[in-house]
Amino acid sequence: GGVLQTLELQAPLRQLTSRALPLTNPLDVPVTFAASVNNAEVSAPASLTLEPRARGELLLEFRPLLPREQQSQLTLTSAELGTFLYDLKLQALPAGETKALQFKEALGGAQTLRFRFTNFLRKAETYKLALSGGSGDFETEAQVAAPAAESSAGAECTVDVTFEPSRMGEARDVLTVTSAEGGEYTCQLIGQALPPKPQGPIVLKAGATAQVNFKNVFAAAADFAFACEPAVFTVAKPKENVPPKKAIQIGVTFKPDGASATPNGKLTVSGPDGFTQIYYLSGQA
């Protein structure tokens, strides 16, 4: 026979929708229908048995993985009643979900967070990973191997993303996870750079000079100013231009004035965009 009916199914990307197809057994004996669909995004029970003169429902489930419209076919076969064909008109709607990872890390440090997504394919799949390259402060692998889905719930996969700030303020990027069959997942990456954590204390003996290691964590050369307080601590030079990702030594001298035997102080390094790095100092007379 020809096509009995056209069934329309719509669902947002990766969301499950279902449709019950009513069936009737007009005979005085039980009837078993075997069901098959020529589309991996649609699932139906392999068979359904109806008692004599009974009604039942065949449950179709549709979970689109790719943004597209498609035509497929459901075939029901019964030894007693023959073959029935149904056209399926399938439409994937926009996902409507946006995921985001929020990072907060001090300059000079690195923070790794995990993005989770689901592989709905019933086979292992390799997904390509890409960053839109908005900031350069985020890193991830080139690809991830996803396990096969054991059920319609899918298999969870994880991707590690590392944020290593190279400037003060906010950094943004977009992670894209794609496979030709599994579809596309996107995640907004938002990184907040915090001032570097204070270092020290650096212990200085009376009259001695200590070399304090300081690294320019920025991606560009920058001018940095050095200042000590209180006045018993002095710095060898007030400022220096430091190449990107390079370390220098800052000479700090302790000359006690007799007012306090073990004064505490600090060295403050100031740089572009409100950057400050503090080193605690401890003098020993």
Residues 140 and 206 in one domain: no
**Domains identified in the chain, total number:** 3
Q: Which residues pair with 189 in a beta bridge?
A: 101, 173
The CA distance from 64 to 74, in Å, is: 16
Sign of CA dihedral 210, 215, 220, 226: negative
- Cα distance between the two ends of the chain: 103
Taking the model in full, what pTM does it have? 0.75
Beta-carbon count within 10 A of 15 CB: 15
Last residue of a domain, one of 161, 194, 227: 194
173, 194, 215 — which closes off a domain? Answer: 194
CATH number of the domain residue 53 falls in: 2.60.40.10
* Per-residue DSSP letter, 52: T
Which residue among 65, 93, 121 closes a domain?
A: 93
Question: What is the layout of strands, in order, in the sheet containing 138-139?
Answer: 111-119, 155-163, 138-139
Containing structural domain, residue 266: 199-283
CA–centroid distance for 60 within its chain: 32
**pLDDT digits over 230-282, tens only?**
989 999 999 999 999 899 999 999 998 877 666 899 999 999 888 899 999 99
Same domain flag for 110 and 187: yes
109 shares its domain with 185: yes
- Over residues 128-165, the pLDDT tens digits come to 999 997 778 999 999 999 999 998 889 999 999 999 99
Q: What is the mean pLDDT of the chain?
A: 93
* Residue 188, token pair as written in the block: 């907004």
